[in-house]
Structure 1
Amino acid sequence: MAFDADAFTEMDVMLDKANIDAAIIATPSGLHRDLAFQVIGRGKHVIVEKPLALTYRDAKAIVDLAKERNVFAVVTQFNRMLPTVEQLLQAHQDGRLGRIVNGGVAVRWSRPQSYYDEAPWRGTFAM
């Protein structure tokens, strides 16, 4: 699949040259604050993969700067590629769930040690 999009190796260059309204930050957690400040500082909306920041103080600073610059700072957790979610989607597409008119779910997922072993910064306050 090909996309008609420019590629950048430097965030500052992208923020200056790309015709974008928002940026998604999906980096190690310790980088979220500084990257969000760069995006918001350029007047762009920012979507940050959870957590927003490592401390309440940094998270509040992001929110305050977004309000000051009149842009949105949004925190998200993408789950659509998780096997459980893909299986649920397939069940729906196969018609096994009937007509869905409303739904809600509370999920308590745990992560095995292998998740943390894949990237040393996971589960830490590392930058």
Structure 2
Amino acid sequence: MLSILVVDDHKEEREGIAFLIKELGFPLQLHVAENGRKALEYVSAHSVDILFTDVRMPIMDGLQLTKEALKLHPKLKVILFSGFAEFEYAKTALSLGVSEYLLKPVNIEAFQTTLEKVIQELKNQQQKEEA
């Protein structure tokens, strides 16, 4: 089963995303972290397929987390979400190899489409590696 780590410093955001993942029936093992440092500690010790992280967080922001997590797991799929539609964030995210960038508040349809796409990419990648 694929796993996802949801990272946001706002508890209601973390819980909302976790609820959507369960409610929409995604076959994902779900883990949560309240900041980038805790998320990086988790990623350092566990295998994670999808990192779903907020951009702006105290201690370690989502961009720094993405950079460090991809060093540990280059095949990791990263979905950033933010309340800020700033070009610099998006540009930096693309340069880091982020798979998707969603705006808050998260639109359920966009969330579902994005997660379906990323899960399919991971499944395709696994099939290629097994062939």
Per the shorter chain, which TM-score range?
A: 0.3 to 0.5
For normalisation by structure 2, the TM-score amounts to 0.39
User: Based on CA coordinates, which of the two structures has the bigger radius of gyration?
Assistant: 1
For normalisation by structure 1, the TM-score amounts to 0.40
Give the number of the structure whose residues are more often strand, by fraction. 2
Give the number of the structure whose residues are more often helix, by fraction. 2
